[in-house]
Amino acid sequence: MLKPLFAAAVIAVSLGACASEPWSGRGDREATRTYQALALADVQRAAVADPLRPAEEVARDPLRHPARILAFAQVSPGQKIADIRPGAGYFTRLFARTVGDTGRVYAFIPHRTEARENPLGDALAAAYPNVVRINGDLDSMSFPEPLDTVFMSQEYHDFHIPAFNTDVALMNRAVFAALKPGGTFIVIDHAGRPGTTNTEVLSLHRIEGAFLRREVEAAGFVFDGESTAVANPEDDRTLNVFDAAIRGRTDQFVYRFRKPG
């Protein structure tokens, strides 16, 4: 069960939206919003402190800043989220704990990599009852229910590599269709230099942020902000992201796109 770890915090968030919450008698909307934000931050911090998180993933937290990413992605209890190609599940675990028993996390694994990655997805589903492993084609992905968020970390550039056989424009439209009105598409990726567009996705595993933004907006999304949580201005963006000199410390952008509605 996921509920015991978060019951108090989830109740606190719920109270912030009803007449019985502690600020309702004052009519102080700003104080109410502050109360809700603090309660949600407690939920997100508890997710980061989840004892089921592997030690090797926790060790990466100073570089990946999970609390800042959860806050920027606006992940909250009850949400339905798709984590696209989640790998070992660094973010999947965080999402599972944050959305709680009333939420769901779909670990989406493309058909191309399912032989290798399905066991990882199945392990996540076994550890967290609100995680469901699902397979499909990236450019026609669909889910059993409308989603609040689709999340893609350090993967978008790969889908431009010919071996993935993916029409990225169709993929972005599939993400758009999978989301509820007002839902968000969160993309984290290794930053390429201005003007490189998608020409270094194979050689350096980087993509130009401005190029990615144009592609996603072409699917109907509205750009809704960015985070510098994993930015590194000391990275000159000329090295392959797997180069030991920069691995784990690349300059990365974090974009939030919203489906109108």
Predicted confidence (pLDDT) per residue in 93-121, tens digit: 999 999 999 999 999 999 999 999 999 99
Q: How confident is the model at residue 37 (pLDDT cuts 50, 70, 90)?
A: confident
Residue 180 lies in a domain: yes
What is the extent of the structural domain holding 233? Answer: 60-258
How far apart (Å, rounded) are the C-alpha atoms in residues 257 and 94? 20
Number of folded domains that form the chain: 1
Task: Please state the rounded mean pLDDT for residues 212-224.
Answer: 98
Q: Quote the pTM value.
A: 0.88
* Dihedral sign computed on CA atoms, order 17, 23, 27, 28: negative
Domain of 175, CATH number, reads: 3.40.50.150
Q: How confident is the model at residue 9 (pLDDT cuts 50, 70, 90)?
A: very low
Angle between helices 29-48 and 66-73 (to 10 degrees): 140
Q: How confident is the model at residue 35 (pLDDT cuts 50, 70, 90)?
A: low
Q: How confident is the model at residue 64 (pLDDT cuts 50, 70, 90)?
A: very high
pLDDT digits (tens, 9 = 90+) for 233-255: 999 999 999 999 999 999 999 99
Kindly tell me if the per-residue pLDDT of 197 is higher than 50: yes
Residue 252 lies in a domain: yes
Kindly tell me if the per-residue pLDDT of 16 is higher than 70: no
Q: How confident is the model at residue 87 (pLDDT cuts 50, 70, 90)?
A: very high
Residue 17 lies in a domain: no
How far apart (Å, rounded) are the C-alpha atoms in residues 120 and 234? 33
Q: Burial of 254 by CB count in 10 Å (0-12 exposed, 13-18 middle, 19+ buried)? A: buried
Task: Please state the rounded mean pLDDT for residues 184-199.
Answer: 98
Residue 231 lies in a domain: yes
Q: Would you call 137 helix, strand, or coil by DSSP? A: coil
Residue 246 lies in a domain: yes
pLDDT digits (tens, 9 = 90+) for 119-152: 999 999 999 999 999 999 999 999 999 999 999 9
